[in-house]
Structure 1
Amino acid sequence: MAQFNSQITMLFIVVALVCAFVPVYSVEDSEAKSLWDTCLVKISPKCALDIVAVVFGNATITDSCCHDLVQEGKVCHDNLIKYIADRPALIARETQYLKKSDDLWSHCVAISKTA
């Protein structure tokens, strides 16, 4: 039950960040919005939450979500993580989050190659 509550909390954080900041970027940079829209459709909401929980928390990721992440692509993954990590509340630990993001990517690529 505690893990479920943690995932719900993470969902609300992601939704709040997206709602608060996507309109600003979409006005200034239509190419970034297009990439954002393209990336969001490539991965399930559950896997997106799992990925965010791994990078910004201490969760683990399933092999199936790793496959989705690799299919999403490195550019999409990097942009999503960088976008979230740039928020004022998180920027102090941005380097740590980007390292965890790279580690997650490497792990998922290795998982995808063995399947």
Structure 2
Amino acid sequence: MAKFTSQIAMLFIVVALVCAFVPVFSVDESEAKSLWDTCLVKISPHCALDIIAVVFGNATINDTCCHDLVQEGKVCHDTLIKYIADRPALIARKALYLKKRDDLWTHCIALYLLCFFSL
């Protein structure tokens, strides 16, 4: 039961982050819905938070979340991280965040391909 409650809390946090960030980006409502429908539903709330912690902090990512990230796709990853990095409080370090985003993608795709070709 505690694990279920924790998962619900994580989902709530991700939904709250999306709701908090999307209006600030001046994207129209259909684009925000499209991002939700096509991107955020492809990744677990836990991995979404891990990815944010890697790009905007100093965390590390596990293999499972790397796999989820690759499954989400580069366009979704790039777009969502750029939207967050465009926040006024973060824009001063946007170049750093975009580099970390790209480094994370490179790391995860290499790991994904390594696992794929070792099968």
TM-score (norm 2): 0.77
Displacement of 1:19? 1.9
CA RMSD of superposed structures (Å): 2.4
- In the alignment, the residues of structure 1 paired with residue 27 and residue 60 of structure 2 have an alpha-carbon distance, to the nearest angstrom, of 35
Displacement of 1:38? 1.3
Contact 1:42-1:71 within 8 A present in 2 as well: yes
Please name the residue that 1:18 is paired with: 18
Aligned length: 105
- In the alignment, the residues of structure 1 paired with residue 55 and residue 66 of structure 2 have an alpha-carbon distance, to the nearest angstrom, of 13
- In the alignment, the residues of structure 1 paired with residue 109 and residue 93 of structure 2 have an alpha-carbon distance, to the nearest angstrom, of 25
Please name the residue that 2:93 is paired with: 93
Amino acid paired to 1:105: W
Q: 3-state SS of the aligned residue for 2:88? A: coil
Unmatched tracts of structure 1, length 5 or more = 1-7
Cα 1:87–1:26, aligned 2, differ >3 Å: closer, same or farther?
A: closer
Amino acid paired to 2:93: R
Identity %: 79
Cα 1:18–1:35, aligned 2, differ >3 Å: closer, same or farther?
A: closer
Contact 1:43-1:72 within 8 A present in 2 as well: yes
Unmatched tracts of structure 2, length 5 or more = 1-8
Displacement of 1:22? 2.5
Contact 2:67-2:108 within 8 A present in 1 as well: yes
Please name the residue that 2:103 is paired with: 103
Contact 2:67-2:112 within 8 A present in 1 as well: yes
Q: 3-state SS of the aligned residue for 2:42? A: coil
Contact 1:22-1:33 within 8 A present in 2 as well: no
- In the alignment, the residues of structure 2 paired with residue 15 and residue 93 of structure 1 have an alpha-carbon distance, to the nearest angstrom, of 24
Runs of 4 or more above 3 Å deviation: 14-17, 23-27
Confirm whether residue 57 of structure 1 aligns to residue 57 of structure 2: yes
